[in-house]
Amino acid sequence: MAPLLALAAIASSAAIRLPIPILRTRMVNMVSTRTRMVNMVSTQLADQRGTLALLDADAMLAEQQFPFSPDELISRAKEFISADYGAADTSLLADEFQFVGPFVGPLTKQQYLDALGGNLNPSAGFPDLIGRQFGFTADPVEPGRVWWITRPEGTFTQPFFGAEPDGRRIETPPQAMGLVFTREGRVSKINVGAVIDRTSGNTAGLGGLFGFLWFVGKSPPAPEYQPYQQSWQFKLLAKAGPLLTKLQAAQQSK
């Protein structure tokens, strides 16, 4: 978990000047993603009542005819995590690998590996840090995809990012994580740090490295590193919304 969290320190891909080979790789990945969307299996429902449309996951997973069973995919996902998210065994990564976070990425395989070698490793300040992963499941819609939830926690007992330890215990919000595997069994994409409930934990709703930096008081001065706040535009629309709804209802009643 810890090496992975360091990736959030990389600037967003929009700010990275990419050479032509990397841009070409990005375009190939976009085409590959579009192809995957086309190859997604048809929707089959096990239960439909009102707004409930429960997928028949077993039937859809069988229809995928992926080289690895759901159990095998989940096992490979756990193997990837136990190998420090590929840092300890780079052979687990496909050549077209991408790292995608809420604000960071997509990063290429080389950018990902370079980032893993950085010095913003939360376990340096939180030596007992654990990922607390659970809920592993194979995606019945997207072949080769595995999802899970993580709720990292640890104790701030060592210096981190210039902050002195104070013994407090960090608990990040629950975060959705995901991997996509190729038909050869390598990881082609990892999705990280998507906070599910920003009211949970004690990092002001921030996930990944961003939560650790905020927790120790070392968040960089950028909105993405700060707890969520509504923009003035959003507040204005929220206030105007009810009025516009009433006006629309009045017009329709005429």
- On whether the CB atoms of residues 22 and 113 are closer than 8 A, the answer is no
- Residue 202: other Cβ atoms inside 10 A: 15
Report domain extents, the chain: 2-253
Per-residue pLDDT of the chain (254 residues; tens, 9 = 90+): 555 555 544 433 333 334 444 444 454 454 454 444 445 668 999 999 999 999 999 999 999 999 999 999 999 999 999 998 998 999 999 999 999 988 888 999 999 888 777 666 788 899 999 999 999 999 999 999 999 999 999 999 999 999 999 999 999 999 999 999 999 999 999 999 899 999 999 999 999 889 999 999 998 888 887 888 888 888 888 888 888 787 788 788 76
Task: Tell me how far apart the 2 most distant CA atoms of the chain are, in Å.
Answer: 69
Record the tokens describing residue 93, joined without a space. 């990564």
- Nearest 5°: the CA angle 216, 220, 225 is 85
Q: 145: closest CA among 198, 114, 183, 107?
A: 183
Would you state the pLDDT for residue 243?
Answer: 81
pLDDT on residue 35: 46
Q: How far is CA 223 from CA 6, 147, 192, 220, 244, in A?
A: 18, 28, 19, 9, 30
Q: What is the pLDDT of residue 217?
A: 94
pLDDT at site 40: 62
Q: Which residues pair with 149 in a beta bridge?
A: 134, 176
Alpha-carbon span 88 to 35, nearest angstrom: 31
CA-nearest of 229, 193, 175, 180 to 102 is 193
108 by DSSP, 3-state: which? strand
Q: What is the pLDDT of residues 222-233, one digit of tens each?
A: 888 788 888 888
- pLDDT score at 120: 67
Asked if residue 102 lies in contact with residue 193, where contact means CB atoms within 8 angstroms, the answer is yes
pLDDT tens figures, 140-194: 999 999 999 999 999 999 999 999 999 999 999 999 999 999 999 999 999 998 9
Residue 159 confidence (pLDDT): 94
Structure tokens at 9: 């320190």
DSSP 131-159: --EEEEEE-SSSTTEEEEEE--EEE--S-
Q: Which CATH class is domain 2-253?
A: alpha beta
pLDDT of residue 15: 36
Whether 192 and 211 have beta carbons less than 8 Å apart is answered as no
**Single-letter code of the amino acid located at 182:** T
Q: What is the pLDDT of residue 49?
A: 92
Structure tokens at 195: 């906070």
* CA-based torsion, 104, 95, 190, 27: positive or negative: positive
